[in-house]
Amino acid sequence: MPDILILVPKLTNRLRYVMQFVMGEQLGLHHELTTNKDEFGQFQGAKMVYGDVPVADAMFLKNSSLLFERDILSQELKPFIYDGVLALFPVYHRQSFLPFDMFAASFFLISRYEEYLPFVRDIHGRFEASSGILQQSGNLDKPVVDYWIRKLSIILTERFSGLRVKRNRYTYIPTYDIDAAWAFRHKGVFRTTGAYLKDLIAGNWAEIKLRTEVLRDKKPDPFDTFGLQLSLQKEFGLRPAYFILFADYDVNDKNISVRNPSFQNLIRMLGDYADVGIHPSYNSFMNKPRLKLEIERLSRVLNRPVTMSRQHFLRMNLPSAYHNLIDVDITDDFTMGYASEPGFRAGVAQSFQFYDLDNDISTGLRIHPFQLMDGTLCDYLKLQPEQAAQKAIELIRRVKEVDGTFISLWHNESLSDTKRWLGWLRVYQEILKEALP
């Protein structure tokens, strides 16, 4: 017998997906959907109507049309504030226990519906935060879907005293993108000579001196912060995830050669104490053969399958980019976030299955949204370290408030505490302290 029976006008894949996420994954309820009014009327347990009209005295939520459509259409979101929180898809019925369709609103955000509609791409072909309803309404820094689910949980337990609703546990996953493992070492003769010439023409004598001292083993490479990372993870008892750019050299793909033994040894070392995934190159975007090659190369170095990814430059084009990941056996992707703004791109601080709107099906690819990136705070928002730490702490507290998963995106060079990253090591240390469960 289900914990709760839900009467609906008809069964669709969209409806099944969002009910499984909200009622199943997040609230831990064994639920069943039915279109049979007689079965619904005879059921003796907790029950709810999600439809056009109420049935007897059953709990009732007025629906909008989104979950019962098949096409991808422009939607009238009509954002407003309810109980201090953003609401979308308002509904109008005096017996509805909410004045908005929270299931349609949740689906709209976690399916990334708006990214299938026409929008203006940035120079890297990305959907920008400013194009999304959450940024436009001033709510990108809030996990609104989690707030809605928390509200539903309260309503259900007040209505049905015997209903036991699951509460998630807050977790933290520190993640790193390794775009350039070293600043000066292991670059090869041609790249090193070219860098010297460039600095010579620019009169950058300090950089020439530093490069020479590093190459002569008189100073550590500033990007080589891996020992520091390891000590921080041990100190705080965390297991990080690394995403390795393992591609042929190009203007936007400047890591160490994939054939370099020191680079390969570094990757193996990281794999001993962390989860390691692929950081698909700029040039592999929408190029499945190249993506497959990069994954195969990394897998051979690690001597195990590679099933995690995060796109370089956070390039993502729905649904094609995810189709490619699925085709090369990636099961978990960590790209869901913006380069230009911190916050909750999908409105949620939980992982979720990718819903393929084009084919109208739920897939096996799990999406792990991140909330905060070092480059966002420093390069896009131009924050000072103290301001950046405060912004991070605010986001962490909001994730903790909803028992979500906080995911930070950092780079090895931003822990160097030199040049433009001077003072940012302390920011990261403050994040680690605040982010602990």
Q: What is the pLDDT of residues 322-358, one digit of tens each?
A: 999 999 999 999 999 999 999 999 999 999 999 999 9
* Confidence at residue 156, expressed as pLDDT on a 0 to 100 scale: 98
Task: Note the pLDDT of residue 15.
Answer: 98
Q: What is the pLDDT of residue 27?
A: 98
Task: Give Cα 123 to chain centroid, integer Å.
Answer: 21
pLDDT in tens, 281-318: 999 999 999 999 999 999 999 999 999 999 999 999 99
Is-contact 283 250, C-beta < 8 A? yes
Q: How confident is the model at residue 383 (pLDDT cuts 50, 70, 90)?
A: very high
The Cα–Cα gap between 194 and 196 comes to: 5
CA distance 233 to 231: 6
In whole angstroms, what is the distance from residue 26 CA to residue 348 CA? 11
DSSP class of residue 203 equals: T
Q: What is the pLDDT of residues 183-238, one digit of tens each?
A: 999 999 999 999 999 999 999 999 999 999 999 999 999 999 999 999 999 999 99
What is the amino acid identity at position 140? L
pLDDT-derived band at 376, boundaries 50, 70, 90 = very high
- pLDDT tens, position by position, 269-291: 999 999 999 999 999 999 999 99
pLDDT reported for residue 220: 97
Label residues 60-87 b or e (16+ Cβ within 10 Å = b). Answer: bbbbbebbbeeeeeebebebeeeeeebb
105-163 confidence digits (pLDDT tens): 999 999 999 999 999 999 999 999 999 999 999 999 999 999 999 999 999 999 999 99
The span from the CA of 170 to the CA of 168, in Å, is 7
Question: According to the model, what pLDDT value does residue 245 have?
Answer: 98
Query: Pairing mode, if any, of strands 361-367 and 352-356?
Result: antiparallel
Bridge partners (DSSP) listed for residue 352: 367
In the predicted model, what is the mean pLDDT of the chain?
Answer: 97
Tell me what the mean pLDDT of segment 246-254 comes to. Answer: 96
Q: pLDDT tens across 391-425, in order?
A: 999 999 999 999 999 999 999 999 999 999 999 99
H-helix segments, 113-225: 133-136, 144-159, 189-202, 205-215
Q: What pLDDT is attached to residue 124?
A: 96
Residue 95 confidence (pLDDT): 97
Q: How confident is the model at residue 62 (pLDDT cuts 50, 70, 90)?
A: very high
DSSP summary character for residue 182: -
Taken in order of first residue, the domains within the chain and their CATH numbers are 4-159 (no CATH), 171-183+221-435 (3.20.20.370)
Residue 189 is predicted with a pLDDT of 94
- Beta-carbon contacts of residue 65 (< 8 Å; ≥ 6 apart): none
Please give the Cα distance from 108 to 85 (Å, whole number): 16
The first and second tokens of residue 394, run together, are 């605010």
d(CA 391, CA 161): 39
